[in-house]
Amino acid sequence: MQSILFKGPSVLLLLLASVYALAQQPPPLPNLPIYSDVSQLNASSQGELYFDSVSAGDYKLLVHPDGSLLDTRVKAQLFLPKNASAKHKVPAMVILHGSGGILPSRELAYGKLLASWGIAGLVVDTYGARGVTDATPYGLRVAIVSDADEVADAYGALRMLNRHPAINTNKIGLMGFSYGGMATRSALDKRIYDNLAQGVTPFALHLDYYGPCHFDLQTPKTTGAPLFSLRGAEDQSNDLVACANIENKLRTAGSAIGSVIYPRAAHGWEMPQPREFIATLNPAPCEQVLMDNGDWKINGVTLAVPPLKTREQKFHFRLALLGQMKKSCMSQGYAMGQDKDTHQQSNVVLKQLSKRYLLD
C-alpha cells in the first residue's frame, strides 16, 4: 500500500481510518489510561483534576440512551483566577480541544487568558481519557474518539464545576475549536442536556470556533443558551451556507444565535504554523442528518446504527461511518494556519461575549 504523508493537524484526516474500515481489519484499540480517583474539590482546587463522564461513540446514544454509555474517567486542567474563593465565586469556561488535541497555543493559552480576565478556564482532555496519545496515528484519532464524546465530557465537566466551591454555577460557558466547536454547538440540544445533566444549570454561553457544519442533529429544542460562532471566509472546511442553515434551525429551536465571519481568515488561526493549504479530506460537502430513530442519512443514503455496547463496537461503527463519508461526499483539503490579526480580533469578541454573559 502506498504511504501518504499529511502535514499538520486538521479537522478530519480520515484516509487511514477509511482504509481500515473498507478492509475490515481495524487495528486494536489503545489501552485506557489509569487515572486518579475523581477529584475532591475545595475552593482552591486547580491544576490537574479528574471527573466522571461517559463514552458514547455516536450521537444516537446521547439522544436515545439505551444503557450503552460507557463510564469514563476524564482528566482536565483548571486555570483558576487569583481572586477566586468560596466568598468570591468566579465564572468558568469549559474548553474543548480540536481534532489535533490540546495545543499550547490554543486550548491552554485560552485557559490562561480567561483566568487573567477573572474566568476559570477548564481544558478538557477528551482524547487522553480514551487512550489517544500523540503517538496515535492522526487518522485514527477521530475514529477512536468522536465529537459526541466531547459533548459527553463537556457535561461531565459542567457537573464537576458545579461541585467547585469557588465557581459561580450560573455563569459557566462552553467553547470549542473545530472538532470541539462541533461538540459545543451540539451541546445545545436539550435532549442531550436532559440525558446527561438534567438538574444542573445549563451552560450560559456556547462559543463555536470554526466547527464544520456538515451534520444536523435535527434539534427540536435547545437549552435556551446563546450560541456564537467565529469562522473564516477562506476556511473551506466551513461551508458558510450550511453553517447559516444549521444556526437558523437552532435559532428556531430556542437559542439566540450570532456569527462573526472574518473575511480573510482560514482554519485554526491560533496555531503557530504558517498558513498553508492542507491536502486532506474535508467533510464540508457532506450532508449528514440524524434521523428520528437515531440512524444517519449521509447524502441521501441511510446508515443504520447497530447496537454499540462495547468500545470495539463503537470504534468499528465509527470507522464505517467515516468510510461512508469518504466514499460519498468528502472533498480534498482546506487552508489553515496562523493569522495574528484574526486571532487578535477574535479575542476582542471573546472578551466582549464573556463580559456580557459570564462576568456581568
Q: Give yes or no for residue 245 having a pLDDT over 80.
A: yes
C-alpha cell at 95: 474548553
pTM of the model: 0.94
Percent of the chain at pLDDT > 90 equals 89
Are the C-beta atoms of 172 and 93 separated by less than 8 Å? yes
How confident is the model at residue 24, as a pLDDT? 61
C-alpha cell at 350: 471573546
C-alpha cell at 138: 492522526
- CB proximity list for 25: less than 8 A, separation 6 or greater: none
H helices of the chain, in order, are 15-23, 60-63, 109-116, 126-129, 138-144, 147-161, 179-186, 190-197, 240-252, 311-328, 340-354
C-alpha cell at 230: 467565529
- In whole angstroms, give the CA distance from residue 331 to residue 308: 29
- Per-residue pLDDT of 137-180, as tens digits, reads 878 999 999 999 999 999 999 999 999 999 999 999 999 999 99
- In whole angstroms, give the CA distance from residue 63 to residue 217: 9
C-alpha cell at 204: 450560559
Q: Which single residue is written with the C-alpha cell 481500515?
A: 20
- Per-residue pLDDT of 81-92, as tens digits, reads 999 999 999 999
Torsion from C-alpha of 182, 288, 216, 125, nearest 10 degrees? -20
Are the C-beta atoms of 227 and 188 separated by less than 8 Å? yes
Q: In which order are the strands placed within the sheet that holds 288-290?
A: 215-216, 288-290, 296-298, 301-303
How confident is the model at residue 326, as a pLDDT? 92
Q: Give yes or no for residue 338 having a pLDDT over 60.
A: yes
**Class in CATH terms, 15-19+30-359:** alpha beta
Sketch the domain layout of the chain as residue ranges.
Answer: 15-19+30-359
Partner residues linked to 167 by β-bridges:
90
